[in-house]
Amino acid sequence: MKQLYKSYDESSDIFKEFQTKYPKYFKIESIGETWEKRDINLITISKDIKSADKKPALFFTGTIHAREWVGHELGIEFATYILEHLDTDPTLQTYLENSTIYMVPCANPDGYEYSRTHFSFWRKNRRQNVDGTYGVDLNRNFPIGFVSSTAPISNVYGGPEPFSEPETRALRDFVEAHNNITIALDYHSQGNVFFPAHDFRHEDTIDTTDMNTLCANMAEEIRKISGREYGIHQGKPPAKLISGSGREFYYSKGIISSVVEVGTRNISDYMDDMNENLREHIPALLAALSETPNYCKDNSVKRVNSFEVKDIGSNHVKLFWDYEKNNDTFFEIYRSLSDKSFCNTANLIAQTQSLEFNDINLQSNTDYFYNIRVVDKKTNRKSPFYPQIKVRTILEYNEFSRTYYASAQTTGYVSENINNNSTHFGVNSLFVGVDDNKGISYSIVTINVKSLPIDALIESATFLLYPINRVSTTIEKYGEWNVGIVNQETMGDITNFDDVDNMEIVNYVGRPTESHQLTQGIWRTWTLSAMECDFLKKYILDDTITLRIEGPKELKIGRNKQVMQWDIGYGRFGFGLSYRPRLELTYTLKPTVTKLYPKEVSTVSKDGVKNGEISAGFDENGAKIYSTFEFNLSSLPPYNDTFITKAYFELNSKKIYIKDDIRFHLEFVDESIDKNYESITNREVIQNIGFDISANELKNNQTQYFVFDTFAEKILNEKLEKKSDISFVLKPTSSRKSIKDKNISWEMENKSLYPKLILEHIPKRRFAVEQVLDAKLASENNKIKLTWANPENLDFVGVKVIKNAFRKPLSPQDGQKLYAGTDTYTFDDFGAKDINKYYAIFTYDDVPNYSEPIILEYKTK
């Protein structure tokens, strides 16, 4: 395995050969010397090497940690690929016409060679420390967040001071001398995850979306090659943050930066794993290269000045933005169904020069993520992205929504070889899989669903877990992770391994998550089918649902771990309460069926109006005969608490013998229509109800139903508000030019066959409760504190507080959730006090309907 990896001298020879063979495109130079006097190789690739430093550049660094060989190997393969394809690939030619590649394939030559020849898992460089130990962790030796340490023996010892090492000084000096670098990628192993740069604050920055999207676009290229899904995780408090990293140093210089963790081991099996890792990362690197011009400091195509939500419906989202109009530019709008998603042609939904866009035909109660950038038509240069918008479409008439979080004390994990499994509940992460020490591990998630009505009909359900650490939990290419519904009547002690192992799983839900789909920093979802939703409802016991998460149960020879770690939201390993396991449900209620009989029916013809009878057709002169029906809605429950979810009109004909082509249309008309022939003939139709029926159909089926469409149901609900009368007209038509003395009578004698309007309706609030009162910002214990007064309304359920540094959040999803509950205050625990931002406070009821937000603007002093 190791013989296939190239030594540092071998790579140096390869690069020197490239320089001889491709002098116009390629250059190798030394940017410094290591402690052991090895040159630190810097290679440059461009369409014209003489002008390379004048073009926007991608900066690649690898193997700054000695045992992480992938960076060095990928640098060699990437350079080889480019030089072998540059003359024949027009896309690659375009990229390198406009961009430059700088690479330090191995930023730690001494440590790398020590790892190759002496100690495979050596991590640091080869400095001799004052206590006689060796090595500094070069990726802790940069100044941003540098942490002083008195333990040189530590694997993460950052050195006596920032830039104490010749390797990091060489990187510093090169970067500071090259302002053309726009994107920096630092290659590590292991984990199959991107770690975009952060600034040690619990706030999104103006370029967070840029970094997430860059990583997502690269991840999509990887997925297309191997099917492997890469996570994206920008470290923020309260998670432990890497200190003194090169990534943050590059970012501090205005460079879009990310660490890329590749593979499942530090030193992978070359033919089985490494080969594939190299192959999948070359198109990912090309995707990053294509973006370098868009992030250069002198890019004249600026991001939009604002990007906001104007309106949200159950099936539409209206967006608008601000930008100085220019005939040479247009806007690209991207829509995704998940956070941190790619932006490419697959999800590009609009190219427009307008300053607004209405996205229609969406699904109700669904999260959508929108991104925007500006494009110059002449140069095809693109702007950076404006910070992403997240919205959730509102519920349909018949829908309710619930988000249920895991109950802390009954959520945890049990392991085969551990005796104190009860201590893993409520205060730790969830571990699932198998390893040498723990043995097999299961996780148990218990969710209280007390607020779910007994008669709820679950329409959709999704269970979500947040992957918290894929780097230290080694995941190889085998096995799958499943979620099962537990029969609580027979489940035993959830903190006892044997009881959990022997649990009766009544049904597994969603699709299994395979090892190559495990990511970090992106929610993993198990979406239930309709049958699985029925099982979920059936196995609620004492208002709770219990789920068991299970993974692989055997290890391959030579492997010691196949475990995934998920966030529980609590304890020192948790990222906060927002990251608890959760179950999202959309449900409806079994409707009440109300039959309304007409308060008045009539037949209207040229001969006059006959009340109390109904017939329709053509008179002896061929003139139309109409039937009219009038109903009153006053018997229905109050409008503010009722939704009509379905409506249909039932008509029953008397026995007929007509063979002619006569068809009948039912029309929803204004209730104020006069009952005379002229008014009926010139009626204004609100909507046709259902489809027309023929006389022949009536011969075969005496009972006919005219079903309301969505628009007609909407109008019917509006009529309910005023409890007004509603009217219908039955109109005859014929394909024959002339038809006379043909009409059909409809049942009025038999009560069961009487014309009727059948309505299905459910109890549901239409409008949100009042907004909070007296909302204020204050400072307390060096934190930003929000206070408010809750409305005095029996239907008030709680408030939700959202933070957004870039716009006033119209949607209760558009930003960072700080709080949800019934308290009258909350703290922005990790909010930076030197950043302007908006806070939005929404009230909600049990639907939930959200109020218009109360906006508080925080401005730095």
Region 154-171: what's the mean pLDDT? Answer: 97
pLDDT, tens digit (0-9, with 9 covering 90-100), for 198-230: 988 878 999 999 999 999 999 999 999 998 899
Q: Which H or E run includes 111?
A: helix 109-117
Find out whether 220 and 344 touch, Cβ atoms under 8 Å. yes
Where residue 51 falls among pLDDT bands split at 50, 70, 90? very high
pLDDT, tens digit (0-9, with 9 covering 90-100), for 694-734: 887 887 788 899 999 999 999 999 999 988 899 999 999 98
HSE of 658, CA atoms in CB hemisphere, 13 A: 24
For residue 737, the model assigns a pLDDT of 78
DSSP 382: B
Where residue 530 falls among pLDDT bands split at 50, 70, 90? very high
For tokens 């038809």, the residue is 739
Residue whose C-alpha is closest to residue 829's, from 841, 818, 816, 840: 818
Paired with 415 in beta bridges are 441
Q: Which phi and psi (to 5°) does residue 693 adopt?
A: -125, 155
Paired tokens of 684: 């204004």
User: Per-residue pLDDT for 90 more than 50?
Assistant: yes
Where residue 519 falls among pLDDT bands split at 50, 70, 90? confident
Paired tokens of 818: 């700080």
Instruction: Say if residue 15 is exposed, middle or buried (CB neighbours under 10 Å; 0-12, 13-18, 19+).
Output: buried
With left for phi above 0 and alpha for psi between -120 and 50, is residue 761 left, alpha or beta? Answer: beta
User: Per-residue pLDDT for 236 more than 90?
Assistant: no
pLDDT, tens digit (0-9, with 9 covering 90-100), for 552-607: 999 888 778 889 999 998 877 777 888 899 999 999 999 999 999 999 999 999 99
Paired with 460 in beta bridges are 586
For residue 1, the model assigns a pLDDT of 47
Three-class secondary structure of residue 669 per DSSP = strand
Q: Cα(158)–Cα(144) distance, rounded to whole angstroms? A: 12
- For residue 22, the Cα-to-chain-centroid distance in whole angstroms is 45
What angle, rounded to 10 degrees, do the helices at 70-85 and 90-98 form? 110
Paired tokens of 455: 């008669």
For residue 690, the model assigns a pLDDT of 93
**In degrees, to the nearest 5, what angle opens at C-alpha 600 toward C-alphas 595 and 603?**
120
User: Per-residue pLDDT for 318 more than 90?
Assistant: yes
Sign of CA dihedral 296, 300, 301, 306: positive
Region 121-145: what's the mean pLDDT? Answer: 96
User: Per-residue pLDDT for 345 more than 50?
Assistant: yes
User: Per-residue pLDDT for 28 more than 50?
Assistant: yes
For tokens 């022949």, the residue is 696
Where residue 825 falls among pLDDT bands split at 50, 70, 90? very high
For residue 239, the model assigns a pLDDT of 67
Cis peptide before 848 (omega within 30 of 0): yes
For residue 290, the model assigns a pLDDT of 97
User: Per-residue pLDDT for 281 more than 70?
Assistant: yes
Most confident range, picked from 128-132, 319-323, 649-653, 731-735: 319-323
For residue 266, the model assigns a pLDDT of 62
Q: Cα(497)–Cα(421) distance, rounded to whole angstroms? A: 8
Q: Compute how many other C-beta atoms are within 10 angstroms of the C-beta atom of residue 654.
A: 15
Three-class secondary structure of residue 798 per DSSP = strand
For residue 743, the model assigns a pLDDT of 87
Q: Which amino acid is at 775?
A: A
Q: Cα(468)–Cα(415) distance, rounded to whole angstroms? A: 19
Where residue 470 falls among pLDDT bands split at 50, 70, 90? low
- Produce one character per residue of 748-759: b if its CB has 16 or more CB atoms within 10 Å, e if not: beeeebbbbbeb
For residue 40, the model assigns a pLDDT of 98
Q: What is the mean pLDDT of the chain?
A: 93
